[in-house]
A and B are shown apart, each in its own frame.
Chain A
Amino acid sequence: MVFDVQKETLPRDKLEALQLKRLKYLLQKIYHNVPFYKQKFKELGLGPENLKSLSDLRQMPFTEKQDLRNNYPFGMFAVPRESVVRVHASSGTTGKATVVGYTQRDVETWAGLMARSFEAAGATRTDIIHNSYGYGLFTGGLGAHYGAEALGATILPVSGGATKRQVMLMRDFGSTVLCCTPSYSLHLYETALASGISISDLKLRVGIFGAEPWTEEMRQDIQNKLELKALDIYGLSEIMGPGVGMECIAAQDGLHIWEDHFLPEIIDPDSGEPLPVGEKGELVITTLTKEAQPLLRYRTRDITRINPVPCRCGRTHYRIERITGRSDDMLIIRGVNVFPSQIESILLETEGLSPHYQLVIDREGGMDTLEVRVEVHENMFSDEIRHLQRLEKKISGHIKEFLGVTAKTTMVEPQGIARSEGKAQRIIDRRKK
């Protein structure tokens, strides 16, 4: 089913005309209301009037995550702070979180786009939606929540954790739609089996999985185990949150980007040049309707390609293929975004620690695990076991506190971290097998 038939099936020429109209308005707005953008335009000798067609977008400046951090907390707002009704933030070490603000209308637009995404997944107002995305500063929980309400479905705001209870609630309430990360769905499955709950006791029909990369093999695995249709959802907090794009149940082949609100481009991550449609590169998104914090050509760092082939579901909005990687070193661990540099700064802030570390990411029973290996050097070494164990605990504690992810810290011998050509191999991601 289609939630907004008029917008979702707009012929391409009409859709692009709408994009251009909205884009021109956006440029005026950010130029006059966000000092950061005015400055950027001036540096390039450009103004909003230089954009006459969609193809002129390629001359316009990019926005990077670092720009959001530099303008922390509210420097990217295009409206007075009083007009912002909600703020979300992504994880970061102290003072480095990425903030995103929403006006009342932004919140409503988001709910509408999320409702559209649910509808694309085949959900209707008769469904019971079990939402295991975390509620809080993370956009996942509340994003799915308001979308489900806008759809008119019954939403269970379960949030993360207490997995055994989640499985029981799912069975007792007869939940039909599951929202969580793909890895958490497998963890739910394992927990259900361990608790003596059979999948046939559950009424799950469709799963809306996002916030971390997954593969086609993992999709098949989830579908076989949980006996549901597994669909991919795309979103990032800087742009809005979940519901920037959604895979339709009709084709189950790539995610429709809601192009009346988000203008996607694919660029070469090294040169910054736009690539022809269909080529693989970094996804760049311009928000067309955001009021509180509009972003021009935001570099998502996600690697994908645009598929312009019309979809059998009837939607005219282009699809992107599943995110296949990153153009930076960001890791997604249990749905939490983690940059190795964040862990490095935590280690450096802990007295006596060497900057030699290694991150080992694996998957056990469907759940991501993170091990932080730290080399033991003389200035931190003690011949008392408890001293080293205290240090391990302290590091894990700081990682949990600042990044919101559980990590096991292990002390290793110097040079215990394999170096290739003198350069330490910092990341071992065993999930990619």
Chain B
Amino acid sequence: MIVEQISIFLENRAGRLADVTRTLAEAGINIRALSLADTTDFGILRLIVTDHEKAKQALKENGFTVGRTNVVAAEVEDRPGGLHAILTMLSENGINVEYMYAFVQQSGQNAVLIFRFDRTEEAVETLQKNGVRIIPGDELYNI
């Protein structure tokens, strides 16, 4: 049920993001989803890729600090109120979202939400109990 996300520490200077994408391109890795969190001095790039082991290794070899985090991918109907319904059920169960990002699938009517929770197992349980489909890692990497 768990999706592996890699995260990369980036200094805020021109060309650093391109250095990451170049490294991934050269290693033949495709990016499934990404989000970038930033402060005045640094940023953290979060990625879901086709092969996280390979991506991590390639990035480390190029001198990047790479972390790995377990996140949850939930499928939601691509319509108004879709995200709201999910957030409501989480908040009713007292589950905190550390951060999240989303993307819309190319085919089909669904959007994918990537969540980082403070209590991952409880969150997955709550979502599943309420009929939300959790996308397994293997499926997501190969969408």
Contact = CB atoms under 8 A, between A and B. Distances in A.
B63 A411 contact: no
A174 B79 CA distance: 73
Interface in B1-39: 5, 7, 9-11, 16, 37-39
Interface string B106-137: 00000000001000000000000000000000
B88 interface: no
A413 B63 contact: yes
Nearest to B60: A378
A411 B42 contact: yes
B44 A411 contact: no
A410 B41 contact: yes
Interface string A297-333: 0000000000000000000000000000000000000
Contacts, number: 51
Query: Which of A383, A414, A416 has the most chain B CB within a 10 Å cutoff?
Result: A383
Contacts of B66: 378, 381
A376 interface: yes
Interface stretch (A7-15, A68-76, A196-204, A384-392): A384-392
B37 A385 contact: yes
Contact of B11 (A381, A382, A385, A416): A416
Given A412-B11, A413-B9, A413-B10, A383 B69 contact: yes
Given A384-B116, A411-B9, 12 more contacts: A376-B9, A376-B65, A378-B67, A381-B7, A383-B7, A385-B37, A385-B39, A388-B44, A389-B39, A414-B64, A414-B65, A416-B11
24 contacts: A376-B9, A381-B67, A382-B67, A383-B46, A383-B67, A383-B69, A384-B99, A384-B116, A385-B37, A385-B38, A385-B39, A385-B44, A388-B42, A410-B42, A411-B42, A412-B11, A412-B42, A413-B9, A413-B11, A413-B16, A413-B63, A413-B65, A414-B63, A416-B11
Interface of B: 5, 7, 9-11, 16, 37-39, 41-42, 44, 46, 63-67, 69, 98-99, 116
Interface of A: 376-378, 381-385, 388-389, 410-416
